[in-house]
Amino acid sequence: MTDSIRSDQDGLQTYLRLLGYVRPYWPLFALSIFGHMLFAASQPMFPKLIDYFIRALDVNNYDPVVLPLLGSFDKNALIFFVPLSVMFIGVIRGTGFFIGNYFLSKVSLGVVNDLRVALFNQLVQLPNTYFDNHNSGHLISRITYNVNMVIGAATDAIKVVFREGMTVIALLGFLLWTNWRLTMVFIAVAPIIVIIVALASNKFRTLSKKLQTSMGDFTHILTETIQGYRVVRSFGGETYEKQRFKNASYRNICQNLKLVKASAIYTPTLQFLILSAIAILMYIILYMKTFGSITTSFSELVAFMSAAGLLPKPIRQLSEVNANIQKGIAAAQSIFEQVDEPAESDTGTYTTDRVEGRIEFRNLGFTYPAADKPALSSINVTIEPGQTVALVGRSGSGKTTLANLLPRFYHYTEGDILLDGRPLNAYTLKNLRSHIALVTQNITLFNDSIAHNIAYGDLQDMDEEDIRLAAKAAYSMEFVDNLSEGLHTLVGENGSMLSGGQRQRLAIARAILKDAPILIMDEATSALDTESERHIQAALDEVMKDRTTLIIAHRLSTIENADLILVMDKGQIVESGNHNELLQKDGTYARLYHMQFRKQTAETLDGHTDTSAEE
C-alpha cells in the first residue's frame, strides 16, 4: 500500500514537472483550448437543429421555440433557414477543429523540441561511464520515441477532456439510428470525396517522405555524436554538435507542422462536405414536404437525423485518457532520469594557452566501476616534453586505460597524474583536452566535407590554407586532389566513401591541424596494408615532431625508434627501456618481438604481407 502511494506521488510529481514544459507556450495552449471548446459547443447545435427540422416538416405544428427565431419568415423560408444553419455549424466546427488541433500541435511539437534539445545537451556532457553502462539504442530511443510518448500526457489528455467530454454531454440526448435508403443522397457527393481523399493522400505521402528524410538527418547526427563522443570531446566539438543538432531538430519540427496543417485542413473539409450533403438532403425533404410529395415516415426521418454515430468516438477517447497519461508519465520518467544525470565532473579551474608536455604518473591506480580487480596499479613513470613513449603488452594489460586517463575520459582512483608539474584535475576539462590530440584505430568521420572533418570542433574557424597544409603533412592531398571537389568532397557516413588508409590520414591531418603539444595514438597503423602503412607512418613521423607522444601499439616494428617503451601486464609496468635495451634484457618484450618477427618472416616466405594486429 505504501509503495503504491509513493508510486502515485512520484507519478504526480513527474506529471506536474512535465506540464511545466507546457508553461512557456500557454498563450498557444489557451488558444487551442478555445478552439476545442468552440468545436464542442457546435455539437449540440446540430442535433437541436435537427429537432427544429423535424418539427418544421409539419407546417401546421411549428415549434413555438422556432417561431420567435424565424421572425417574419414564412414556411418557405424554412427551406433555406435550416440548411444554411447546418452549413454555418460546419464552419464553426471546422474553425474550432483547426484552431484546437493546429495550435495544440504547435505546443506539443514545441515541447518535443525542448525535451529533445535538453536531452541532447545533457548527453554530450555526461561522463564516459554513462555511455559504458547504457545501450546506445536506448539513448536514441529516449530522444526519438519516448519524447513523443509524453505528448499524450502533456497535451492530448487535456484536449480529450475538454473536447470529447463536452461533446458527449451535448450528444447524449440525440441518439437515433439512420435509414439506409436516405443515404442515396450522398452518392452524388461521393466522387468529390474520393477526389479530395486522393489529393490529400498524395499530399500526405509527399510530406511524410520529407518528414522521414528530416528524421533520418536528425537520427544520423544523434548516432554520430554518440558513437564519436571521444572525438567530440577531444576536439571541443560539444558546442558545434549542439548547434548542428538544434538545426536538424528545428527542420524536423517544420516538416511536422506542415503535415499537421494539411491534416487539420483536410479533416474539417471532409466534414463540411458531408454536412453540405446533409444540408442538400434537408432542402430536398423540406421542399417535398412543402408541396406534399414526401412519403417517408416520421420515425425514419428522426432516425436519419440522429447523432448516434457521433458518440462512440468521444466516449472511446475519454476511456483512453488515463492509459495515455500513464504511458506519458512512464516515458517522462525515463527522460527526466537522463536529464537529472550529473554532467561530467569538472572541478578544475586552471587554464593555460599551451603546456610543455611533461607528464608524470605517480603511484597511479584505477578501477572501473563495479569491477572486482583494478585495471591499473602502481604506475610510476615520467615522460619528458617531446619524448615518444610506447605502451605494449597483451590485450587487457591496461594500455588503453592508461591513455584514457590522460584526457580525463575516466577519473583515476589512486595516485595522481601531473601535467607540467600540476595535477591533472586542476585543469578545466576544456583546457586540458585542448592540449591533447587523439588518433585511434577506430576513426570517426562525420558525414561532411573533408575540410570540415579535418577542421572539426574548436578548429572549425581555421583557414582553408591551414587545412590544406595539415592535409599535405598527413599525406592526404595525394588522394584529395584526385577527388571531384577536393577538400569539399563529402566523405559519407563515417567516411564510407574513403578507404581505411585514407580515413586514417584524415584523422592524422586533424591532429596536425590541432597542433597540440601532446599526442595520443592508439593502434593508429594496425589492420592496414603495407602501402597505406608506409604513408601513415610517414605522416605520423611528421605529427610526432616536437610533441610528447604516447603510442599504443601491437605491431612492435612500428615503435622501435621510441624513446621509451613501457611493457604492461595485468595493469602494471613490468619492463621499461628503449628497443635495444629491452631486447638485451631478453624478457617479455623480447619474447613478443621475436614471436612477431618469426610470424612476419613466415608470412613473407608464403607470399603474404602481415596486415593483422598481433598481440
**Does residue 445 sit in helix, strand or coil?**
coil
- Here the cell at position 244 is 548542428
Q: How far apart are the first and last CA of the chain?
A: 58
The residue written with cell numbers 611528421 in the block is 542
Specify the higher pLDDT residue, 549 or 499.
549
Q: What angle do CA 244, 248, 253 make, to 5 degrees?
A: 145
pLDDT at 446: 86
Q: Report yes or no: 104 and 39 within 8 Å, Cβ to Cβ.
A: no
pLDDT band at 4 (very low <50, low <70, confident <90, very high): very low
Average pLDDT over residues 247-267: 74
* 163: DSSP letter: I
Give yes or no on whether 17-339 and 350-433+562-615 have one common fold. no
Task: Round to whole Å and give the CA distance between 56 and 66.
Answer: 9
Consecutive H or E run containing 145: none
**Is the pLDDT score of 383 beyond 80?**
yes
Task: Round to whole Å and give the CA distance between 565 and 408.
Answer: 23
Specify the higher pLDDT residue, 176 or 256.
256
The listed CATH number (3.10.450, 3.40.50, 1.20.1560, 3.10.310) that belongs to domain 17-339: 1.20.1560
Q: Report yes or no: 107 and 29 within 8 Å, Cβ to Cβ.
A: yes
Amino acid at 28: L
Say how many C-beta atoms besides its own lie within 10 A of residue 334's C-beta. Answer: 16
pLDDT at 363: 93
Please list, in sequence order, all residues whose beta carbon lies within 8 angstroms of the beta carbon of residue 406, skipping any fewer than 6 positions away.
Answer: 359, 417, 424, 436, 518, 520, 550
Task: Round to whole Å and give the CA distance between 230 and 347.
Answer: 20
Specify the higher pLDDT residue, 188 or 254.
254
**Is the pLDDT score of 451 beyond 50?**
yes
**Is the pLDDT score of 128 beyond 50?**
yes
Consecutive H or E run containing 419: strand 414-419
Report strand pairing: 436-440 vs 518-522: parallel
User: What are the boundaries of each domain within the chain?
Assistant: 17-339, 350-433+562-615
The listed CATH number (3.20.20.70, 3.10.290.10, 2.60.120.260, 3.40.50.300) that belongs to domain 350-433+562-615: 3.40.50.300
Task: Round to whole Å and give the CA distance between 260 and 247.
Answer: 20
CA distances from 311 to 66, 264, 307, 530 (A): 26, 21, 7, 75
pLDDT band at 1 (very low <50, low <70, confident <90, very high): very low
CA distances from 172 to 299, 315, 316, 434 (A): 19, 11, 14, 70
